[in-house]
Structure 1
Amino acid sequence: MAPKNRIIIDTDPGVDDVLAMLLAFAAKAEDLEVMLVSITFGNVDVKSCLRNVVAIFHILEKELKWRKENGKPLGFDGITQFKPIVAIGADEPLQDRIESADYFHGVDGLAGTHTTHPHFSPEESWKTLFEEPPPDSFLTETAKEETDLEEPTKTFIPSLVPAHKEILRLLRENEPNTITLISIGPLTNFALAAAEDPETFLRCKEVISMGGTVDGIGNVTPVAEFNVYADPYAAARVYALSSPIPSSTMPIANAGSRSVDLPAYPPRLSKQLNLKLMSLDITESHMLSRGAFTAYASDLAKQGSPLAQWVTAFMDPMLDKMERLHIGHEGEGAALALHDPLCIWYVLTQDDSRWKPSARSPEDIRVETAGQWTRGMTVGDKRSRKRRNSDGEVPHDRGNWLGNKSGNRIYRMLESPGPDAAAPYLLNAIFGP
């Protein structure tokens, strides 16, 4: 029987990205299949992001071996029942300068654990999996599989195809409306895929994107959330696909900046993108505290669980950082927002009626790409006015915000099964009851 949900995760790990992927891989086979992990720049450079993804598979291999030896349920159907593809994507934004979050996540994206805990990192030989073999290579495919290239090759399929092309291939080869695209990093890979073949991109069931803030404040500038800020041009292009007329909200080029020349979308497309936004407006209230994390992971780490030891190695310094940076984050109360895991949690529990978008949904939310102080701002139309009967009515509404056909149509999620329910769900899935 096919899984209830089939997903592609586009990611730039990042601590909370890793937690999100662990939650996805821990889901039961009948509930979720991760078909592809596509890598983008973001929290750190794309090569570091790739190493962090490979490290997840490396640790989970060790964890499954440990659980088997100790008579514990294996779990992690996401890698024992399926074998996800891993593909490398964009290494820079479509426009303007690269911005990273290594100041928060650490230079390696995982609080420096590759340096402080090198025994948790995969051997360097994994890099050859993502390199073209020399033309005169005498190794057959079977011989390559038999070379000692570390454990991760058992649990994922390395791809030499750019991530956005792998996304399009999977969407093309599967029935429409059966694959959910989840973005927990900058939207660059999705924007590239949509630009190359918008109709194939729209074969997805929906896009769930962690990014933006409309009613709240930003986490990288006063008005911008990091994932959108890192590539606002890409976010604007993806958001535009939710409009009946994508050209009505397409971004303008930032004069004088580096820019990738992508084609405009056709005047009409066969459907609108179903886009659900997990913005800071909802994610900031869903926290994982030091007390909750320790209650699950501490004893397992002492027992020898590689997974518990590894996650503790990057969670402890991250929680220490939260304690230093934020008032009210002292001791056991120090907490990390579960920004990215919320996207996976939603997919797994979306039948729960407590998930609700904003009352204004679908909202016309657009991305600022050219502002001096507002780069990456997600601008929502909060006016309590009805949409116009035609696009010809322009008085008092610059930018066609109130048009029946113009403007984006985005579902910004604002309510979940409960802010206090997210962390226990995550921890129970990853570490067991």
Structure 2
Amino acid sequence: MSGTDDLPRIIVDTDAGIDDAGALFMLLEAHKKRLVNIVAITTCHGNTTVDNVNRNVLRILDKISMLDQIPVFSGTKSPITRPYFINETEFHGQDGFGDSDLPHPDPQKHLQKMPASLKIVEEVQKRPGSINLLAIGPLTNVAVAKMLEPRLLYRLASLHIMGGNTTGEGNESACGEFNFLNDPEAAQNVLSWDGPSSAESEAESKLCPIFITPWETCLCAINIPYEYRLELGRLETPQAALLNAGEARTMDKKLFRTWITCDQIAAAWMLDVLVGDALKSTGETREALCLAKMETFVSVEVQGTHTRGQMILDRCPFKRFVSYAVPASLLTAVNIATYKRYLTMAFGGEF
């Protein structure tokens, strides 16, 4: 592919902690290979404050000399209806980067003036059916964009989300996954059908495909040992150096039995769907990342004492109990060999 007009166009909405950094490096490598065109990175509260997120995104871009290539748009500082209450310092540190005290470019010089949600709306209105949105943080920016442009889910090419859960297993409450629990109202807003589209064209008459990477898949279906993470960290690349510095505290703690990757798998699935064939070598057999997925209708609980933020699966084959639930594909099994190739790319190695 020679120009950028024919490339899949991507907006990444992120609450950049250290796991987001791996996902961003993966996507930025695909951008450098001219496989995709990242038209914007939008930032959101979540793993840390949005001001810290902005600094983290800028240091990621600066580390691989892409600071002037990808525009960054600052977004929402808090959830839609309730005060920000989650502080993920145990995993990400106060700054979202393991309190590694790494230098960062000046946000005043490098952040765009337009708010993140307006940028999302601008792109889908300007290029309906061509923007692929990856949301790897709380869905506040996306929900605000949907309120501003009610046809958002009809005008996107695809929506990829890391968040939610399928069995009620939580990681921030008994039943709530971190990204959804950070702003349940936003997650419910995004994953809600508002009725038939007042489409201006046939292409906008259907909801875009929605791909969700849920927490249980990250926790149980991707068993990558810490030793493999250490192996990736030995690559002599700028990406590996930054990821090693940011992940040092979590690698020391080993909070889980294996190395848990969440945002990285969502980014890898997006790339595999969009450009998986282009990444493989000539004559190489294509091995898709997704081995199994669940096709169902989903929404989000916002009222329950213990289930607030839990993703609802409306799976009855003959009746919709949640009338506003939207159809989605939920990743349930992964080709580990293929995924490791994407992780290698995230660390600056060859796919």
Q: TM-score, normalised by structure 2?
A: 0.84
* Alpha carbons 1:41, 1:91 under 8 Å: kept: yes
3-state DSSP class of the match of 1:9?
strand
2-side partners of 1:236 and 1:273: how far apart? 17
3-state DSSP class of the match of 2:169?
coil
Q: By how many angstroms is 1:164 displaced?
A: 0.3
* Alpha carbons 1:100, 1:230 under 8 Å: kept: no
Residues 354, 318 of structure 1: alpha-carbon distance in 2 compared, 3 angstrom cutoff: closer
Amino acid at match of 1:233: E
Partner of 2:189: 237
1-side partners of 2:208 and 2:241: how far apart? 41
1:9-50, CA deviations, whole angstroms, 9 ceiling, x for partnerless residues?
000011110100000011154311111100000011110111
1:286 aligns with 2:239: no
Q: By how many angstroms is 1:292 displaced?
A: 1.6
1:340-360, CA deviations, whole angstroms, 9 ceiling, x for partnerless residues?
01122112212555625644x
2-side partners of 1:317 and 1:344: how far apart? 23
* Alpha carbons 1:31, 1:348 under 8 Å: kept: no
* Alpha carbons 2:18, 2:97 under 8 Å: kept: yes
Match of 1:344 among 267, 283, 291: 267
1-side partners of 2:223 and 2:96: how far apart? 20
Residues 402, 377 of structure 1: alpha-carbon distance in 2 compared, 3 angstrom cutoff: closer
Match of 1:379 among 298, 304, 312: 312
Aligned residues: 326
1:298 aligns with 2:302: no
Partner of 2:280: none
3-state DSSP class of the match of 1:411?
strand
Partner of 1:71: none
3-state DSSP class of the match of 1:412?
strand
Amino acid at match of 2:120: I
Match of 2:302 among 369, 374, 383: 369
Q: By how many angstroms is 1:382 displaced?
A: 4.2
* Alpha carbons 2:290, 2:333 under 8 Å: kept: yes
Partner of 1:112: 99
Which has the higher Rg, Structure 1 or Structure 2? 1
1:311 aligns with 2:293: no
Amino acid at match of 2:99: G
* Alpha carbons 1:296, 1:431 under 8 Å: kept: no
3-state DSSP class of the match of 1:336?
coil
* Alpha carbons 1:37, 1:86 under 8 Å: kept: yes
Partner of 2:281: none
Residues 195, 357 of structure 1: alpha-carbon distance in 2 compared, 3 angstrom cutoff: farther
3-state DSSP class of the match of 1:337?
coil
Amino acid at match of 1:401: F
Q: By how many angstroms is 1:4 displaced?
A: 3.5
Amino acid at match of 1:100: N
Q: Any residues of structure 2 matched to 1:14-93 within 5 Å, and which?
A: 14-27=17-30, 28-61=32-65, 79=66, 83-93=69-79
Q: TM-score, normalised by structure 1?
A: 0.69
* Alpha carbons 2:7, 2:36 under 8 Å: kept: yes
1:396-433, CA deviations, whole angstroms, 9 ceiling, x for partnerless residues?
xxxx5176xx53222212233x1354234212453224
Task: Tell me how large the CA RMSD over aligned residues is.
Answer: 2.5
1:104-160, CA deviations, whole angstroms, 9 ceiling, x for partnerless residues?
21111011111xxxxx4125xx1322xxxxxxxxxxxxxxxxxxxxxxx5xxxx311
3-state DSSP class of the match of 1:198?
coil
* Structure 2 gaps, min length 5: 198-203, 277-286
Identity of aligned residues (%): 24
Q: By how many angstroms is 1:236 displaced?
A: 0.3
1:73-112, CA deviations, whole angstroms, 9 ceiling, x for partnerless residues?
xxxxxx49x8221000000001223123223211110111
